[in-house]
Structure formats: C-alpha cells, structure tokens
Amino acid sequence: MIRFDNITYQYENALSPALADVSLEIQDGEFIAIVGHNGSGKSTLAKHINGLLLPSKGSVTVNGMDTKVEDNLLKIRQIVGMAFQNPDNQLVTTIVEEDVAFGPENLGVTPSEIRQRVDEALHAVGMTDYAEFAVHHLSGGQKQRIAIAGILALKPQVLVLDEASAMLDPSGRAELLSTVKQLHDQGMTVLMVTQYMDETVDCDRIVVMKGGKIVLTGTPSEVFQHTDILLQSNLVPPEAVAVRDSLKAMGYPLSDRALNAEQLSEELCPLL
C-alpha cells in the first residue's frame, strides 16, 4: 500500500540528511509503530507519506502513485489522513459535530452524506454523546479523538499519527490507543509514531529509527528481544519486558511473547 524506496531527505541548511536511504513497505491493513529518539527522522518519514515532504532521492508511492507526481497528491491526501501532536491545532470550529463536518463540507460532500459521515466518525471514536458539546469543554484525549473523527469523515484508507498521544495524560493516551486499535481491527492501515514503547506491544510491526535510518524492524516480540539495539537507540523497552528479562536471567522459563503485565502474569503465575 505504501512503499519507501531508498529515500533520502535533506533539509535545507542541515549538515546531514534527516533520512538516509530508507526503504520500507507497508501492507494494506497493517498496524505499524515507528519509534526512535528525538531527531531520529520519524516525523520526516511520516510527512513523506502524503507528500508534505518530497524525497531528495528515491521515491514514495501510495497505492502505486508516486508522491512526486503533482497530479497524484490530491488522491494521495484523500487516502492518507494525518493526526499530529497538538489537538488544539487540528480543531477548527467550536462545536464537536461542526468540526468533524468541516473536512467533508470543504470537499463538497452533500449534506445528508455529511450527516452520515459525522455520525459514523463520532461513533468510531466513541464520542457520539458529545456531538453537540463545545470543543473547549473536552479533555485532551477527547479532543484528539475528535481530531481523528474529522480525519475519518474524509474516509481515508491510511491513518498516520505523529506522536498524537504526546500531549495527553495517561487516561487520554489509553483512550486514544484503544480507538486506534479498534480502527485497525476494522481494517484501517495505521502508522503510529510514538515515544511510548508500551503503546507498541499490540501492533503488527515496529520500526526502530536512529539517525535517519531504520536500525531494526520486526514484530513486537522480535524487536523487544534486541534490548541492546533499543538502548543504543535511546529507547527503553516496556516495563513488563524489562521485568520479564530480569526474571529470565534468574532462570524463569518465560517466552518472548510476554510483552505486557497481563501476558507476563499469565506465564508467571503457573510457575510460582
């Protein structure tokens, strides 16, 4: 669905490229987490997906359409929806349902179709009861879910979240993550940039970036076996994985599949 072929990206005035010869293929329906320390190139990579940035070298294609071909950009941007860190910058009106309707209205969608899309989008993010609320009365997590509803109302096939949970409190983060997982369960392709390793344990694949390169990629259980590479990339594995590894070092026969507290306790309890 999305292909990065040997892309390099150089910001003007920067000494070294922000992305250096990155290749990555994302399948339809996949849930990918992109992790990496500040400045490793995650946002630069995300911005290439819908042509906000164009590669200095190499190519990015979405459903076979090259982002460098200007005629493709409108179509690509209908396929790929992007959510960013600060929900306040993404909400444009004062009432929840008006905000969700804003995008489709600008596309000239008919009023009855807009009504249906708004209802569906609010339902998808679990915010139906808030349709007539004032946006400024919502919590950060709720605002971010409304921002995502606004994207869903445009009917994208791919959702890109660039540290969308970074400004949220733990409960807001949990709400957002469960919304994203549900969307993925319903078939949405999701690419989630996050600083929080514990948010990545249920995704299909983790991509670890460092210094503009992909240094590791695999399923969560594969990636979390490489604590050395993670630590070299300034990333701390989820707490449950650290505890698991300490217990393994003490001789407990635990599998690499235990990635969160629940899975770990399921394996550990029979041993105790």
Point out which residues bind Mg ion (CB under 5 A): 42-43
Region binding ligand ADP by CB under 6 A among candidate stretches 10-18, 66-74, 238-246, 261-269: 10-18
43 binds ligand ADP (CB under 6 A): yes
Phi, psi (5° rounding) for residue 115?
Answer: -55, -45
Question: Of Mg ion, ligand ADP, none, which one does residue 252 interact with (CB within 5 to 8 Å by kind)?
Answer: none
Closer to Mg ion at the Cβ: 126 or 211? 211
What Rg value do the Cα atoms of the chain yield, rounded?
20
Does residue 142 bind ligand ADP (CB under 6 A)?
A: no
Please state the closest distance from residue 116 (CB atom) to Mg ion, in A. 34
Q: Tell me if 55 contacts ligand ADP by CB under 6 A.
A: no
Decide if 34 contacts 60 (C-beta within 8 A).
no
Q: Which residues, 6 or more positions from 180, have their beta carbon under 8 angstroms from its beta carbon?
A: 148, 159, 161, 190, 192
Output 41 or 103, the one with its CB closest to Mg ion: 41
Phi-psi region of 13 (alpha: psi -120 to 50; beta: other; left: phi over 0): left
Please check whether residue 217 is in contact with residue 206, taking contact to mean a CB–CB distance below 8 angstroms.
Answer: yes
Q: Hey, which residues between 60 and 79 contact ligand ADP (CB under 6 A)?
A: none
Please state, in angstroms and rounded to a whole number, the distance separating the CA atoms of residues 183 and 177.
10
Q: Which is nearer to ligand ADP, 14 or 269 (CB)?
A: 14
* Nearer residue to ligand ADP within complex by CB, 117 or 173: 173
- Which of 36, 156, 237, 238 forms a contact with ligand ADP (CB under 6 A)? 36
The four Cα atoms 153, 157, 189, 92 give a dihedral, to 10 degrees, of -30
Nearer to ligand ADP, 99 or 162 (CB): 162
42 vs 244, which CB is nearer to Mg ion?
42
Asked if residue 14 binds ligand ADP (CB under 6 A), the reply is yes
Asked if residue 73 lies in contact with residue 38, where contact means CB atoms within 8 angstroms, the answer is no
Number of shown-chain residues binding ligand ADP (CB under 6 A) = 11
Considering beta carbons, is residue 43 or 90 the nearer one to ligand ADP? 43
Minimum CB separation of residue 209 from ligand ADP in Å reads 6
40 lies in the site for ligand ADP, by CB under 6 A: yes
Q: Does 18 bind ligand ADP (CB under 6 A)?
A: yes
Tokens of 185: 């369960």
What is the rounded CA–CA span in Å between residue 252 and residue 255?
A: 9
Give kind and range of the element (H or E) at residue 222.
Answer: helix 220-223
From 194, 187, 228, 221, select the one nearest 205 (Cα to Cα). 221
- Contact call for residue 44 and ligand ADP (CB under 6 A): yes
CB 42 within 8 A of CB 193: yes
Q: Give φ, ψ of 69 to 5 degrees.
A: -90, 115
Binding-site ranges for ligand ADP (CB under 6 A): 11, 14, 18, 36, 38-44
